[in-house]
Each structure stands twice: as structure tokens, then as C-alpha cells.
Structure 1
Amino acid sequence: MTTPEHPVIVVGAGQSGLAAARACRDAGLQPIVLEAGDRPSGSWPHYYDSLRLFSPARYSAMPDLPLDGDPDRYPTRNELADYLDRYAQHLGVDIRTHTRVTAVEADGATFIVHTADGGSLRAAGLIAASGSFGNPTVPNLPGQDTFTGELLHVAGYRTPAPYAGKRVIVVGGGNSGVQIADELTNVADLTLATLAPISFLPQITRGHDLHHWLDVTRFDHLPAAWLRHIVRKPLVLDTGRYRESIETGRIHRRAMFTAFDGDTVVWPDGRREPVDTVIFATGYRPDVDYLRPLGALDDDGLPLHADGISTTHPGLAYLGLEFQRSFSSNTVRGVSRDAEHVVQPLAAHVQQAPATIGL
């Protein structure tokens, strides 16, 4: 039997990877965290500049280390990235940045993790916590390959400045699409294209932020299987600003165009309109392609799991998947609960490995 070098390898050092590292540490394991980027803050430094969290600071921290400052403020992208840096230091675990995982293979009861620098590591357990930012979802519309303008996903958007004076369409009716449309409308000729009218969810009710009510009602803890029947479409958290912008026409929303044609898009009524840039705010899918050699994914590249525990490989777990176990599974406030859940059986599996890995 081949002896694993490490108890557990965690892929990714964003909020999910750090939650995994804490749960492993507390279970008596010694995790190695591999992060492709240059800092243990996941995708947060790469989001658009104006991004603010949709949850107040009091509901946006990891266990054991609160966010500083006003607990009712909505932290910025940079604040959250810096906070995760501090949290990583607070954990005191082995985090290796600039280490991109390219493939994972099974060798008996152990995993061999290959990295972009040509190295490999062997572990008894593996937690895929690499998020989804690296795998943006872009629809393929008729004529899209003929479009002569700029096409990008919101993952590549930073500021409105490059789009000043241009004709821009933002596609998508979720939080990111509406936020970006709102700031672009100040500088560009902007249309927000969506499949259906925007559905708004009040940010403040009876003097409290939505996340207060999610907490006191324990909605955040409801099983994901129930939630899929409740949450059927994107909801935009709103203080009233975005609804007013759309209702007054400040943000021009219209039904999704049907095709591209050269430098134009084709609207449902058949009218063609020249467009400079189309920005897709159309979501993400789990960035776990490195698990394909393992045979742990379905035909669509999605993890085969039950509540984050692999159904194909003992010792493999996932963190940060949307609706993995609850409404908040892929959020800062909820991922640590999931981490404790998946590490419990993982620790039992690792304990059966040879003692030479240093448990």
C-alpha cells in the first residue's frame, strides 16, 4: 500500500478553502492548502472594483475572527480580501500560494495531486474548495461567433471607465448584472437585457437587514433540497434604489435579444441594433476540471456528491458549492458549517490511512 505524504490537501484558499483548513485543523488533521493565486483570499481581489457584500459585516465573518469596524456596514471587495488574508494568518496552517492544481488521480486509497509547476503531492483526503470564479458561464447564442464587438463575462469587468460613450448591453437579472448596469448607465448608452422582469428582495425590513431575518428564522439552515423548490429564479437585494432606477427608466431593461449578427444584436421584434460591448452577468459553474482524471464529475463537469461528500471516492469532499447543504453554503457566513459537516467523515477516513503521515 502506498503511504500518503499528507492527511488532507485542500484545493483553494478562498473562504471555502480557509473554512476547510480550520475544520481540518480542529479535527486534528494537518491540512496543506494549495492556492493558484498570490494570496489566500480566493477570487475576491478579482471582482469588479465597486463590489460590496450584500450582507452586513456582522454576518460576513468567519468563526473566531470578526470583521473590524461598524458591524452594520456592507464591506467592500478589498475589505473582504484583506480580511481573508488576516484569517489565513490567524489559522496557522500550511498555505502554499502560486500553486495551481492541474489534475488529481487516485492511487489505491490515496490521491495524487498534480500542480502546474510539475510537482505532485500525495494525500489520504482531498477537499475541492476552488470556487467557481475561474469557470464563468457564457451562453452561446445564434451568430455569436460573427459578433465584431467586445464580448466579456462579468468576471473580466472592473470599472465603467473603458465603456464611456459606448453602446453597452449587460445580460443578466441577478445582483451583479443590476449593480453593473447601474454604474454603467452613468457613462454609457446602456441596456439591461434579461429573460424575465427583475425580481427584487428588500434589503431592509422592519429596520433590520435581510440577513438578520435569515439568522433569526434559521432560513440559512434549511436543507438545500427544500430551497430548490422555493428559490427558483435570481433575486436582487435592493434598498429600493435599483427598483426605482428600472421603473423610472434610468436603467433601460428589455427582453433578452435573440441573436448576434456582425456588429449588431437582434431583438425579439426583429430589429437589429449596433452594439459595442456585451457583458454577460450569467453566473458561474464549479471550477473543478482538475477532478476529471479522477472520474468524480458527471457528464456536465459537475461534482457527484451528497451534501458535499463525494459519492464516487471515499476521502473526497467539496466546499463552496451553491446550495450544497443550505441557502448560505457558498457564502462567507455559511461555508464554515458545511466545512464541519464534510470534515467529520473525512477525518474518519484519514484515520484509517498509515500512521506515517504524521497524524
Structure 2
Amino acid sequence: MEHADLIVIGAGQSGLATAALAPRHGFARVLVLESAREPGGAWPRYYDSLTLFSPARYSALPGMRFPGDPDRYPRRDDVTGYLRAYAERLPASIRTSTTVTSVTRQESVWRVRSEDGREFTAAAVVAATGDFGTPFLPDIPGRSEFGGRVLHAADYRNPHVFAGQRVIVVGGGNSAIQIAAELGPLADTTLATRRPVAWTPQRPLGRDLHWWLKHTRLDTAPIRRLLAKVPVSVIDDGTYRAALDRHGVDRRAMFSAFTTDGVLWADGSKEDVDAVVFATGYRPVFGYLTGSGALDAAGAPVHRGGASTTVKGLGFVGMEFQRSFSSKTLRGVGRDAAWLLHRLSAARR
């Protein structure tokens, strides 16, 4: 059995940021447990052309700048390489290929068990697995009878396998728009959403949106409840919107059901479809905390700003709107981690 001052579950951006900051808060021995074969979370598995909507200068983790032009918009492989390099310089031990199955508290110690039977103990635990490992597919009637291909954006890589096909992309966020825009030149593509797409200028008045968020302090404002109600918006400098128009990607109200050969649109018309790509987000799942007292009846964490309010020595980093607009993002997880580690450290005294 291996002991640490702090165990971080997950070596994605949230877990790595937490591990980097932990020694500053008195956690000398830090252990990071990651189910994948390498650090980096879900980034290596995203679609090939994924492009951040935040510039490199606003996409760094604590203590290490993002390389290259600070005003460029990094792509998936840039972020993957950055996270690998970041993990190599961490003052922590990272155990890859280690899937956590249970986390329980016995007296003043947390016991963490992995799928292969190994056990680890610590005074504090941070769950930083986020939600990108659990894609959400809405339950739409007829899906099991549909003869075409159904996949989530998590399983989408590039448009070439869809060349010449009729494809529907479901979703109104950045990923849906990026995928639909690159499918447009090769496939007959439609964007299906429940409400019209909302667009946010990427560079209002010549400054990147994230510059404005930083200097107005909205980026760090503790207005989680308000922000959680804000409709999904696509951040664009005009490139993606123009690409949709140029390649004839239309937007239609969400279809109501699948048919054997396609979909049933809201207006009652039927259409044959080859594939449907759902860019419908992810849902956090903390199955390893079942029975710990940290989750409510629906399996959601009971917390305030990421600090568990039901059990001592446990916290979360990497949840959407956890503390601010920037929570769950590369630029925001470090702030959330610092806030949480301060509270976990104080609770040890």
C-alpha cells in the first residue's frame, strides 16, 4: 500500500494543475492516478482539427507558459504536447494505466483502490476526472432501429470517412460548429439544434474575448449560478460562420425521431440519412465515489466551489461553472485548484 499527502484522480488539465500547485499548500507527497496510458486526459482522443477558442496566452496551466505565438489559437496536438511536457516537470508521481474503482474514508484517511487491486492512502483526495470520458447521447426515439451510423463527437476524428454522405450534426456549441464546417466541403451536412445558434464575436473591438473577460474580471467572477443559465454560444471571428454558408451547411430545428433509414424532422417530413454526429457534450460521472457520502441521490457531487460539504478532505476540480466562467478550461483550472487546495490544507490543521 502506497501513502501520499494528496491523491489526485485524473491526469488531465485539472489534475495536472492541481498536482503542480499542491506543494505550495503543504502537500509534499503528491500521487496522481490516471486510467489512460499517458497523461493528458481526453485531449489525445479529440477530433483531429479541434482548435481552441482561447489564445495561447490564455491557455496555460500554472507555472508554464504555452509555447509559440501567444496570440495564436492552439490545436489539439499543440495542447496534447503541452500537457505531456507539463506532466514531465511535475513535482508529483504519476501512475498511468491505473483506473480508480473506489474511494472511501476510514477515520482520518482516504483509501483509494484501483481496478488491478492496488491500494493507496492519503489525508486528502481531489477528484479531477472531469466529464470528458463520459459522452452524452440524448435518448431519441428510434435510435436502435436506425440503420446508419450514430456517433458522438468524442468518436469523430475527421471528415474523410463521410465523403459523399448525408450527415446531420446535432448541437449548437463550438465543437458542433467546427465539425459541421469541416464536413461541409465533403458531405451534404445539416446542423440540427433545439434553438437558433448564438454567436459571440471572438475579437470585439479588436481584442480577443478572453482579454475582455480578464480585464472586466468576469473570467474569475464567482457567479456560477447565473452563468450556468446562460445559453450555449459559439465563439467565432467569422471564419466558421462563413464556412457554413460557403459550403451550404443549413440549420434546422432538431429532428423528433430516428427512422429505419434516417430521421423524422419536426415538421413531419422524413429524410434518409447516412450518419448522425452528436456534439451534445458530456456528463460528469464519479462512480468511484459511490458510498463515500460525497454524492447526492443522483450521483452528483455535494460541494461548494469544488470543496465537498459532506465529507472532510475531498474536493473536485474541472467541473463546468464550478466557481466561475473559466472553470473547466485550461485557463481556469489552476485558479480553482489553488482555491480548493488552500481549503483542504486549512482543514488538515
The normalised TM-score by structure 2 is 0.95
CA distance in 2, matches of 1:314, 1:132: 23
1:115-154 to 2 correspondences below 5 Å: 115-154=114-153
Task: Spell out, residue by residue over 1:275-329, the C-alpha distance to the aligned partner (whole angstroms, 9 max, x if none).
Answer: 1111110011113221123232223322111100012211010001000000001
Structure 1: gaps (5+ residues): 352-359
1:20 has 2:18 as partner: yes
1:85 has 2:93 as partner: no
Q: Aligned pairs, how many?
A: 348
1:1-359 to 2 correspondences below 5 Å: 5-29=3-27, 30-225=29-224, 227-228=226-227, 232-246=230-244, 250-351=248-349
Task: Quote how far apart the aligned CAs of 1:153 are.
Answer: 0.8
Task: Quote how far apart the aligned CAs of 1:13 are.
Answer: 0.7
Asked if the contact 1:34/1:96 (under 8 Å) is kept, the reply is yes
Secondary structure at the aligned position of 1:212 is classed as helix
Give the percent of matched residue pairs that are identical in Structure 1 and Structure 2: 50
CA distance in 1, matches of 2:243, 2:82: 32
Task: Spell out, residue by residue over 1:313-355, the C-alpha distance to the aligned partner (whole angstroms, 9 max, x if none).
Answer: 110100010000000011111111111111112113345xxxx
AA aligned opposite 1:330: K
AA aligned opposite 2:160: A
AA aligned opposite 1:71: P
RMSD: 1.7
With 291-300 and 326-335 compared, the bigger mean Cα shift is at 291-300
Asked if the contact 2:180/2:244 (under 8 Å) is kept, the reply is no
With 82-91 and 189-198 compared, the bigger mean Cα shift is at 82-91
AA aligned opposite 2:79: L
Structure 2: gaps (5+ residues): none
CA distance in 2, matches of 1:97, 1:192: 38
The normalised TM-score by structure 1 is 0.93
CA distance in 1, matches of 2:256, 2:182: 25
Task: Quote how far apart the aligned CAs of 1:5 are.
Answer: 2.5
CA distance in 2, matches of 1:59, 1:115: 35
CA distance in 1, matches of 2:230, 2:74: 27
Task: Quote how far apart the aligned CAs of 1:249 are.
Answer: 6.9
AA aligned opposite 1:336: G
AA aligned opposite 1:150: R
AA aligned opposite 2:62: P
CA distance in 1, matches of 2:53, 2:274: 30
CA distance in 2, matches of 1:335, 1:177: 24
CA distance in 2, matches of 1:191, 1:123: 50
Task: Spell out, residue by residue over 1:171-215, the C-alpha distance to the aligned partner (whole angstroms, 9 max, x if none).
Answer: 000000011000011111111100011000001112111111111
Asked if the contact 1:227/1:327 (under 8 Å) is kept, the reply is no
Asked if the contact 1:35/1:98 (under 8 Å) is kept, the reply is yes
CA distance in 1, matches of 2:57, 2:227: 27
Task: Quote how far apart the aligned CAs of 1:250 are.
Answer: 2.1
CA distance in 2, matches of 1:279, 1:320: 25
CA distance in 2, matches of 1:120, 1:129: 18
Task: Quote how far apart the aligned CAs of 1:39 are.
Answer: 1.6
